[in-house]
Amino acid sequence: MTIKPLPENQLPEYMNYYQTCQFLNIGSYNLLYKFIAKGLKVTVVGGSKRISKTDARKFMEDNAKSQVAR
């Protein structure tokens, strides 16, 4: 399955997994599951799993590594 990115303003604050992949511009659920295992927060309400844009941004910032110029 190909996951196409969407502009941030077209996604809700609390996104399902598919929308989170679009928001983070990642092409597979496997990578999203790795992010969750590394600490990306998931909110579960009545069996529905959601990830907030704020938490997704914070996770990416907290896990960013500066690249060294070669």
Kindly list the distances between the CA atom of residue 12 and the CA atoms of 38, 47, 54, in Å, as whole numbers in the listed order.
23, 18, 11
In a domain, 67, yes or no: no
Question: pLDDT of 17-68, one tens digit each?
Answer: 999 999 999 999 999 999 999 999 999 999 999 999 999 999 999 998 866 5
- Domain range for residue 50? 8-62
For residue 68, the model assigns a pLDDT of 59
In a domain, 51, yes or no: yes
The pTM for the full model equals 0.83
The per-residue pLDDT for 65 is: 82
Instruction: Indicate whether 14 belongs to any domain.
Output: yes
pLDDT tens per residue, range 50-62:
999 999 999 999 9
The total number of structural domains that make up the chain: 1
Strand partners, 14: 52
